Structure 1
Amino acid sequence: MAGTRWLDEREMAAWLGFLEATSRVSRHVEHQLKDDAGLSHAQYEILVKLATAPEGEVRMTDLAHGLFTSKSGLTYQVGQLEKRGLVERRSCPFDDRGVLAVLTTEGRDTLRAAAPGHVEAVRSALIDVLDREELDVVARALGRVGARLRPADHSAGPAPHAPAPGS
């Protein structure tokens, strides 16, 4: 194709390194959460978002904007959390069509128990592999990539990765 800017050797190495690292880190974290807490990574992130929200509740549409999953994926994951008694869905008092996802006490306890293993998995797979300077470079670089691809109406992006409250 005329005009295509093919990747040179350095760019290809960066791209392939990114693909391998993201895939392996994601699988490592996913397995740890499944094995230790019976949660998917998406479910864990939902619990974190709810735990850090006022009153432990967020409108489903707002929750979808701050997560890395589709709206249908969010609905499915919240349904799975609801079956386990970790989340409840309620009507939104200020929006007749809105639905709130609400963290239950059991959900908060599950998150609190899962957080230490999750943080250790993140540390062993990524954080502790890099020195401080590399962490700064990775954070800046991937932050720019995320900002460039983030939908314009959600420029704030997802909240920082927070530990479970009380842990």
Structure 2
Amino acid sequence: MDRISLTPPELYGNIGYTNSIVERIPISIHLNGGTDGGLKTADQTGDGYRASLGDVINIDRVTDVFLDSFISYGTTKMDGSGKETYILGIKEFDIKTVSNNALLKNKILIPNTAPDPGGDPTTAATTLHRASKFNYVGTITPKKLKELTITLTDGASTQLGSAGTAKVWINFILIPREK
């Protein structure tokens, strides 16, 4: 039930209505290699590809962001030529990572476990890439999310898979902190 808080808000807290029912906010993103699908290198120029969420998500408390799953279809196999990892950046999640490599700064590394298609490059496979569920991504302060600005490349800073066939599904779980 929504309520109005009459006590002083926590630092970065919402002073208006709060939702005490929704404790987890799932976000599912689908990117593909087609025209304006988000995976093509041309789609990620500037800040990155803007994926509209359809609805406005009102984050009213300090919230932790977790990567629940990362699934790919028809993406580049791990072949040791800089394609061992995927590099994911999401501007709105305020990812804070440090690295000796500028490409990895404020980004998430995801292991590329795509199998070798057995010599047939036209064979596409669906692969679940993650070490475990609920990988911590970062913490966000109260805001309204309408879209996510996404950059996603492999370790060689190239497009994942071929245009038109490659697809990626990314699932995040946002968990507001207790008061």
**TM-score of the superposition, structure 1-length normalised?**
0.24
Question: Which has a greater percent of helix?
Answer: 1
Question: Which has a greater percent of strand?
Answer: 2
Which structure exhibits the higher relative contact order, with contacts defined as CA atoms closer than 8 Å and separated by 6 or more residues? 2
